Structure 1
């Protein structure tokens, strides 16, 4: 194996920035931020009341235990809203302006939610002056914590230091992730294990090993070594990797590293053995009963809450069509275990949108979409009738998006492992829907399949709840609808 020295020896290693919680990978940094903000939200209720007492009576005179119910309720409501608005997504930091907007919207929703809660549960209520001070303190503390978080997480010294074995296509994928700057890891360099692998990373990023891999890893203060060789059958340095592992360096395979960092399964590197021996990709078992109970409960709750919206949608479609044409749109889709079912949606296109019955992908600014239909699609109101599909058992609330039989037949021929998405029931929302824009081509379908496979592999009830909360953010920010 060719060996040399790295010019980048700055910074010390830190614990992995991604941790697995209930089968789902979560950013350790964001989880820490959530914990700190939870404490600040909890404490703001006490500080608001204490400050109000001090201003009015000139003394504090409060016991902490008296405020626990009200502070806990405020903390829970605000965290739920902030999670729903995407403030704890691993790639939410697209700029301070957007972060400020989302925090502001979160506290606006929180104000309405707490007002309603105080009306329903008067024992939790604070005085108007006390609550005004408390929510002001909470807002400023969250903003301050987030600006500090922005500043701290930019430092390379806090990033996971990852040495990559391989210089081919897999290594190039890792280099592309690092260039995004938001993945929380730093690659000191790439090692060409054998000369048969064609380099796909910049020549200046390739290292030479002069003595042995363990010494180089120690010199670079490496936390983790990722085996990203395109073909591990040629010159795999098993003894040196084993030595690194014994010395305390974490060893990962490219597939696991990519999945952990991106929240999707790398389709091109997926092999049958990867599926057979990997943790996950298992039958639902008892979890299917829990999931079904969750689906029915959430569907009935949403029907009770959204029936006025559905009534308005019916009236709008009827008026726009002049009282002609169907209100609902039924279409054959492929579901669990390749079974066909009819999905129900509000009609958002003109009647006879597909001439000759030929299936056509919906495109951006599609001329077939009506004015009312555009609004329904943007707000996802057109999806609400699918709640009846969930109650019938054709769909789940969370799962891969169901596709039409014509598309499925074509996609199966062009995309490996595509049939695996039918191992679970299709969903109204899903991991792919909130992570990737609306798909309207085979390329989009391939990309979304990688997210679907991650969901299937790592399914848990906790993961479903996370997806449901983040769906709110997707709807409000208009991502994915077409």
Structure 2
């Protein structure tokens, strides 16, 4: 998990964004290669605008939290996002001719986008179906049981992922189990819950009487 502008972002999100950028750019170029008139002017401003609009719509549709959606919900969100992107792209092209696609190229581009983005996200769900069933746990406290909490992630009846730990103790960074992160202090709990959206906050404080927020 990476920290960007004081926000924690899973590393896989950057991989997903990079794949989306590649797919959107490729489909815009492919539509022109198929013989469709891409519109007046250079292609790259249109492609850049398309990438920005599609990524924004995918983000607003919550499609960068792949583990949170089943196949049907994923399809519905993707279609909704691409429909919104098509409307916005058409409106921008109408207002700014430099960003306007030819009609056939526009239709081919969004058809290819629907197929390509839908296909790779379906592959993700197929290859990692169990990920959607795993609980996402934020642990408050790096107490004596911290290592055991991490060790039991995949062995219990309900598998889970540890998003990270919160603790106020000065020695907390040294007590965090290997492979996990200290995300902040107890005062950061509410902001991290809002940001990371864990399924469960597990309290593992060594002394709840003094440390519980």
TM-score by length of 2: 0.66
When residues 279 and 433 of structure 1 are mapped into structure 2, their CA distance, relative to the original with a 3 A threshold, is closer
TM-score by length of 1: 0.32
Deviations 1:234-285 (A, max 9, x none): xxxxxxxxxxxxxxxxxxxxxxxx4xx25xx44xxx243257997867xxxx
- Which residue of structure 1 aligns with residue 57 of structure 2? 81
User: Structure 1 residue 435 and structure 2 residue 164: aligned?
Assistant: no
- Structure 1 residue ranges, 4+ long, deviating more than 3 angstroms after superposition: 18-25, 151-156, 166-170, 176-183, 274-281
| Equivalent runs, 1:47-86 vs 2, <5 Å | 47-53=30-36, 66-86=42-62
Q: Contact (CA 8 Å) 2:70, 2:125: kept in 1 or not? A: no
User: Structure 1 residue 40 and structure 2 residue 23: aligned?
Assistant: yes
Task: Specify the SS of the correspondent of 1:272.
Answer: coil
| Equivalent runs, 1:38-437 vs 2, <5 Å | 38-53=21-36, 66-89=42-65, 91-92=67-68, 94-153=69-128, 168=145, 171-172=148-149, 175-176=152-153, 183=161, 258=162, 261=163, 265-266=165-166, 270-273=167-170, 432=194, 435=197
When residues 417 and 141 of structure 1 are mapped into structure 2, their CA distance, relative to the original with a 3 A threshold, is closer
Task: Specify the SS of the correspondent of 2:9.
Answer: strand
Distance 1:436 1:19 in 2: 16
Instruction: State the shift of 1:155 in Å.
Output: 9.1
Distance 1:131 1:96 in 2: 27
Distance 1:114 1:100 in 2: 21
When residues 25 and 434 of structure 1 are mapped into structure 2, their CA distance, relative to the original with a 3 A threshold, is closer
Deviations 1:110-146 (A, max 9, x none): 1111122112212110111110000100111101111
Q: Contact (CA 8 Å) 2:57, 2:84: kept in 1 or not? A: yes
Q: Contact (CA 8 Å) 2:153, 2:159: kept in 1 or not? A: no
Task: Specify the SS of the correspondent of 2:63.
Answer: coil
When residues 89 and 66 of structure 1 are mapped into structure 2, their CA distance, relative to the original with a 3 A threshold, is same
Distance 2:42 2:130 in 1: 41
Q: Contact (CA 8 Å) 2:8, 2:196: kept in 1 or not? A: no
Q: Contact (CA 8 Å) 1:49, 1:131: kept in 2 or not? A: no
- Which residue of structure 1 aligns with residue 9 of structure 2? 26
Q: Contact (CA 8 Å) 1:91, 1:182: kept in 2 or not? A: no
Q: Please list every run of 5 or more consecutive structure 2 residues that lacks an aligned counterpart in the other structure.
A: 132-142, 175-181, 204-213
Deviations 1:422-477 (A, max 9, x none): xx9xxxxx85277269xxxxxx9xx599xxxxxxxxxxxxxxxxxxxxxxxxxxxx
When residues 176 and 279 of structure 1 are mapped into structure 2, their CA distance, relative to the original with a 3 A threshold, is closer
Deviations 1:200-225 (A, max 9, x none): xxxxxxxxxxxxxxxxxxxxxxxxxx
Instruction: State the shift of 1:77 in Å.
Output: 0.7
Distance 2:170 2:2 in 1: 24
When residues 52 and 274 of structure 1 are mapped into structure 2, their CA distance, relative to the original with a 3 A threshold, is farther
Q: Contact (CA 8 Å) 2:153, 2:160: kept in 1 or not? A: no
When residues 143 and 274 of structure 1 are mapped into structure 2, their CA distance, relative to the original with a 3 A threshold, is farther
Q: Contact (CA 8 Å) 2:57, 2:81: kept in 1 or not? A: yes
Distance 1:79 1:170 in 2: 38
Distance 1:178 1:19 in 2: 26
Distance 2:198 2:150 in 1: 18
When residues 171 and 38 of structure 1 are mapped into structure 2, their CA distance, relative to the original with a 3 A threshold, is same
Distance 1:177 1:83 in 2: 30
Q: Please list every run of 5 or more consecutive structure 1 residues that lacks an aligned counterpart in the other structure.
A: 1-17, 57-61, 157-165, 184-257, 282-415, 425-429, 438-443, 450-482
